[in-house]
Chain A
Amino acid sequence: MSMFTRNDKSFDANGTGTASARDKTEAPVAPIVETKRTQPPAPQTYEVATPQTRVVSVISKALKITGQLESTEDIQVDGEVDGDVRGVSVKIGSNAKVKGTVYGDTVELAGTIDGKIEAKKVVLTSTAHMSGDVVHQDIRIESGAYIDGHCRPEYGKAANKNTHAAAKPAATVSTTVSTAAVRDKTGPVAEFGTRV
């Protein structure tokens, strides 16, 4: 009780008589509402610690993966991957290292790849370091990017029909459906793990 009286005095000292009156009426109610709100999510904070807005999977800078990564969603790599990466939209962060082939609809590289990129749309930012070939349909290279390899606009063409199976045909854009249909006629689509 003594706390309330002390607070009232300080409000009066500030000269806001009407505000203090409002606080008096609402003050006992507000803390109860707040505690009700904060109690339920408390156990969840452990599990859902990472705020996910756009990127579905994040390989953080401390993580090293030796092996294959496959996803039908987006992947952001900030760590180290020794193996192939398959996703829809793949972003390789500025301190990331990938040794292997990166497949995707869109690949954005700001880090290092030692291997190959096979994607419909490729973006090499100014900090990109690419050692190996880039198979693409649409490429953007910013000033400062390093490339040691061939850039071939052959994504989705006959030469690499098997590797094109990165994303499932149902997920691809309508323009690629025709090529997918051709593939189905020629034979079964290769599994993820297979290589030409």
Chain B
Amino acid sequence: MPALSRLALVPVPLGNDGPELPASHLGKALTVKGRLETSGIVHIYGTVNGQITADRLVIGAGSFVEGDIIANDVRIGGRFTGRIYARHVTLDGSADITGRIFHHTVTVAKGARFDGRMPWRPLNFFERLEHLREAQ
């Protein structure tokens, strides 16, 4: 029963208002060392080493990401090491993850590999995180 009431609280993915910003696409051959910040959508198919802040993040199959992720909606199909702070997390069957996933709701596909912990957090935890984002 508590699980149902929890679901009711989940915001619609892409909670940001206003016109949708063009998505960033980091291709297979691209390597980024450093921080990525956007209020829009990011698709990663290459390698990223560093912190990522986005509204919606897609880490495609075959990619490798290392670092922390702060986002509203995260979908992972590649290799990831680090921490995820996201309201909604989706792990595809090709995902290979080491670390922690701080989430409100999570979806894990059959075949996904995950080594670590998945702590559940209330929605206001992620709101506070957005304030932390600037301080970091």
Interface residues of B (CB under 8 A from A): 21-43, 46, 50, 58, 60, 75, 77
Whether the pair B29, A67 counts as a contact (CB closer than 8 A) is: no
Whether the pair B30, A70 counts as a contact (CB closer than 8 A) is: yes
Q: Which residues of the other chain, B, contact A72 by a CB distance below 8 angstroms?
A: 29
Closest to A70 in B: B31
A-B contact pairs, 11 of them (CB 8 A): A47-B77, A49-B23, A49-B41, A49-B43, A56-B30, A59-B24, A60-B22, A60-B24, A73-B27, A79-B24, A79-B38
Q: Which residues of the other chain, B, contact A83 by a CB distance below 8 angstroms?
A: 34
Interface residues of A (CB under 8 A from B): 46-47, 49-50, 52, 56-73, 75, 78-79, 82-83
Q: Which residues of the other chain, B, contact A73 by a CB distance below 8 angstroms?
A: 27-30
Whether the pair B30, A69 counts as a contact (CB closer than 8 A) is: yes
* Cα A72 to Cα B28 with chains together (Å): 9
Whether the pair B34, A67 counts as a contact (CB closer than 8 A) is: yes
* Cα A153 to Cα B75 with chains together (Å): 46
Whether the pair A61, B21 counts as a contact (CB closer than 8 A) is: yes
| A55 smallest CB distance to B (angstroms) | 8
Closest to A64 in B: B37
Instruction: With A65-B37, A75-B30 given, name 8 new contacts (CB 8 A).
Output: A47-B77, A57-B26, A57-B46, A61-B21, A63-B37, A63-B40, A65-B34, A67-B35
Q: Which of B22, B34, B35, B46 contacts A61 (CB 8 A)?
A: B22
